[in-house]
Structure 1
Amino acid sequence: MGASRLWLAVVGVLVAVSGGTDANADPGARVAGEIPLGGRAVQLDVYSPAMGRVIQNKVIKAVGAGAPTIYLLTGAGGGADGISWWDNTDVRGFFADKYVNVVMPVGGAFTLYTDWMSEDPSLGRPRWETYLSQELPRVIDGVLGASGRNAIVGVSMSAASAVDLTIRGGKRFAAVAALSGCPWSTDPAGIGLASAQAVRGGGNPGNMWGAPGGPGWQAHDAFANAGRLAGKTIFLAAATGLPGPADHGLPMPPVEAIAGACTAAFAGRLAQLGIPAVHVHRPTGAHTWGQFETDLREAWPHLAAAIGA
């Protein structure tokens, strides 16, 4: 099968079953509103100059100033569909006694949380890399008096995004956890896997990073750029796709088996480079929030040690 046909085939399969730092970012990112959500939790609305609109963020504030921050990204729907860490897990209970600010952006469906090169008729001109790597951290550090030490966690679609943001973000993120996702490469399968997410939202992958396989895609190739993760804390987790106790009997399409293979391949790439990483390959797990929450709890001690939480 030719490369182009393989790419289209992978896109078709994933659509059927289906989650560069801008150095000139406008410093005008600011809080546009705050809504109490109970306890130390608030909805923090932040204006993004890069995207020209206000972005909602669910935030659990740490007790006292000077705490580090963990950013939790969600899956393909961006959390606006009511499917997220906030909606589907006990993040409020888990982080209640932790010395860390927890930030959960809402939005970014099917965008891969990246900066798109061109305007897209369906998805517009997303600038999520600029928002997550520059604008939002500046606001959080200023408003909450945070330490500037950050970790980022991605799940499903955003697992690869979290790796990409950590690679491209310089010192912004000291630690990353990629859960049940597929770090991108510029081979046909990798292009297809990344493209499938944009296609699900009606977007044109060519508007994201330009011609598939070209320089724009190579700049986001996690395998080619993995060396830039040296010195960072890395936690990778995925499972086989076989339902287990954490899934609570919920049926899911066979996405997790693909994620398990991708995650193992990326762990192998890091090992080849001599970059330490924690890699958890679970014998059961079917791409459910029960599995994701289990992985987050296991990742936390590693992330906490990296950011001083």
Structure 2
Amino acid sequence: MRNGRLKLIVAGLVSSVALLGTTVLAGPAHADPTPAGPLVGVKADDGATVVSTEWNQAENYLIMNIASPAVGQTLPVALLLPQGWTPDTTKKWPTIMMLPGGGGDTYLTWAGATDLRSVAKPWNVIVICPEAGPKGTYTNYFNGGKGGPPQWETFHTQEVRQIVEKAFHGNGQRAVAGLSAGGYGSMIYAARNPGMFKYAASYSGLTSIRLPAVQWAVYYEAGDKDPSARFGVPLVNAKNWQTHDPSYMAKYLKGTGLFVSSGMTGFPSNVSTLGWTPDQTIEAATYLVNQDFVLQLRLNRVPVTTDFYPLGEHAWAEWNVELKKSWPLMMNAIGATQN
């Protein structure tokens, strides 16, 4: 493939994130206030605090709002709760965090755009669907080397995790999965926090940013007012880019179960819903970077389960299929049992 064509495709990988679906789970029509218990007011170690909750007991899901020092905002998180969950139970459950993509995805999109709720219902597991910002951001910002907010990695891996385990009965056996930008998030979180997650899954995720063309595409298409704020300037701040690159950090994924999938061409499959457009080159580009990531895993003798399918768009219909393929693997890794 000519280098110019590769750059065009890679640029499309970032700029076409708007293709992600925006169907969401509607808020509860008859939400029950959460019963009195250790919910509102619970804090993470850095002071992140649950300021409000809304529990739909009939549907068994809860939405909590967390005042996050890491991000500097109050952010929502949806929890799909297992049968038998109550605020005051002493029973604990494994957890899985489902990370959304960019382009308008929110903490509700996973449950609204896929069969996540019916897939999870038979299992004794707490499903965590956090907010991740309008671009699907999964890093603590570099900010010229000064750090500081927004710190999305801290929000997800520390604040949300600690609150769920302190007050919502998570047992410390964890998996993480995500699509597109969230697929990047799942792999980089697992790599940067070895041992935190028993399993990580990426569906059409940006799992490698080693190529200069990919780095510059991310730099210019990230959508931040200062394009260097997220990771710094490519080449100039190479070390920070490396430590936020799943392929460079592949060796730290040893011991974590892994699932990586994407379409090879972006052409429609039998479940496709969008119809092919030139923007679907995003899926073909995702396939290319996933090949680099899988190569780095194998060079480091890190086992991985892959599913690269010839036909399939960068779309929720495809990720719904991949969710169902990977779900039993994730549940087995975290010791989740069926009802």
Shared fold, TM over 0.5: yes
| C-alpha contact 1:116 1:125 (8 A) present in aligned 2 | yes
By how many angstroms is 1:67 displaced? 1.0
Specify the structure having the higher radius of gyration (Cα).
Answer: 2
The residue type paired with residue 55 of structure 1 is L
Cα distance, 1:17 vs structure 2? 3.4
Corresponding pairs, count: 294
Structure 1 residue aligned with 2:49: 30
- So what's the TM-score if we normalise by structure 2? 0.79
The amino acid across from 2:83 in the alignment is V
Match of 1:211 among 215, 220, 233: 233
Question: Under a length normalisation based on structure 1, what TM-score does the superposition of the two structures give?
Answer: 0.86
Cα drift, residue 248 of structure 1: 3.4
Deviates more, 1:169-178 or 1:133-142: 169-178
Cα distance in structure 2, aligned partners of 1:72 and 1:154: 6
Gaps spanning 5+ residues in structure 2: where?
A: 21-43, 85-90
Structure 1 vs Structure 2 CA RMSD: 2.6
Q: Deviations over 1:205-235 (max 9, x none)?
A: 3111222132211211222210000011000
Residues 104-134 of structure 1: CA deviation (Å, up to 9, x unaligned): 1124222531110228xxxx94211001111
CA distance in 1, matches of 2:103, 2:116: 19
SS in 2 for 1:246: coil
3-state SS, counterpart of residue 238 of structure 1? strand
| 2:271 paired residue number | 246
1:166-185 to 2 correspondences below 5 Å? 166-185=190-209
Provide the C-alpha distance between the structure 1 equivalents of 2:205 and 2:217, rounded to a whole number of angstroms: 10
Secondary structure at the aligned position of 2:195 is classed as coil
Kept in 2: contact 1:242–1:286 (CA 8 A): yes
In structure 2, the residue matched to 1:47 is: 67
Answering whether residue 319 of structure 2 is matched by residue 300 of structure 1, we say no
Q: CA deviation at 1:36?
A: 2.4
Aligned to 2:16: 17
Letter in 2 for 1:17: S
Percent of residue pairs bearing the same amino acid type = 27
- State the alpha-carbon separation in 2 of the partners of residues 128 and 289 from structure 1: 24
Per the alignment, residue 79 of structure 2 pairs with 59
Deviations 1:14-62 (A, max 9, x none): 455346xxxxx85312211111244211111122121232110111012
Partner Cα distance (2:267, 2:50) in 1: 43
Report the Cα distance in structure 2 between the residues aligned to 1:99 and 1:193, rounded to whole angstroms.
41
Q: Hey, what does 1:158 align to over in structure 2?
A: 182
Is the CA contact (8 Å cut-off) linking 2:209 and 2:289 kept in structure 1?
no
Does 2:229 align with 1:229? Answer: no
> Is the partner of 1:294 in helix, strand or coil?
helix
